[in-house]
């Protein structure tokens, strides 16, 4: 899937849904950290995640920005992300 020719064909959605369907069944939220903003955040938002925070990691020289996203539990009444 990391191969450029394989991206954007729906494989990522299928893999994500294996996990997110399980999470919904267990009543759990999902959390991920993305190392890229564009286009990654857009892709994860399409998959039901929302950006909560950007953080900067620094291991004493090299700095890395990480984007933290959460997917709320689906199927709960009153949860705006259910629509
Ligand atoms: C990120 C990645 C895992 C997504 O998997 P994928 O198979 O390409 O994604 P899909 O084809 O299933 O698309 C998922 C959704 O994102 C949307 N999408 C895909 N590529 C997009 C892009 N470049 N910009 C905006 N939206 C995009 C799709 O339309 C789809 O939404 P929809 O089903 O509602 O139409 C994959 O592209 C990848 O491995 N990329 C390279 C490595 C990488 O960036 N990894 C993540 C590091 S944080």
pLDDT tens for each residue of 16-28: 999 999 999 999 9
Find out whether the peptide bond into 52 is cis, omega within 30 degrees of 0. Answer: no
For ligand 1, say whether the CB of 2 is within 6 Å of any of its atoms.
Answer: yes
- Longest Cα pair distance anywhere in the chain, in angstroms? 47
Q: How confident is the model at residue 14 (pLDDT cuts 50, 70, 90)?
A: very high
For ligand 1, say whether the CB of 4 is within 6 Å of any of its atoms.
Answer: no
User: Rounded mean pLDDT of the chain?
Assistant: 90
Residue bearing the CA closest to ligand 1, atom 40: 2
Q: What is the pTM of this model?
A: 0.88
For ligand 1, say whether the CB of 1 is within 6 Å of any of its atoms.
Answer: yes
Contact 16, 27 (CB under 8 A): no
């Amino acid at each position: 899937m990391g191969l450029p020719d394989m991206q954007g064909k729906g494989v990522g959605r299928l893999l994500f849904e294996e996990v997110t369907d399980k999470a919904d069944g267990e009543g759990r939220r999902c959390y991920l950290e993305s190392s890229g903003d564009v286009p990654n955040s857009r892709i994860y938002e399409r998959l039901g995640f929302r950006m909560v925070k950007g953080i900067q990691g620094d291991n004493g020289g090299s700095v890395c920005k990480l984007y933290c996203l959460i997917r709320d539990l689906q199927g709960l009444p009153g949860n705006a992300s259910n629509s």
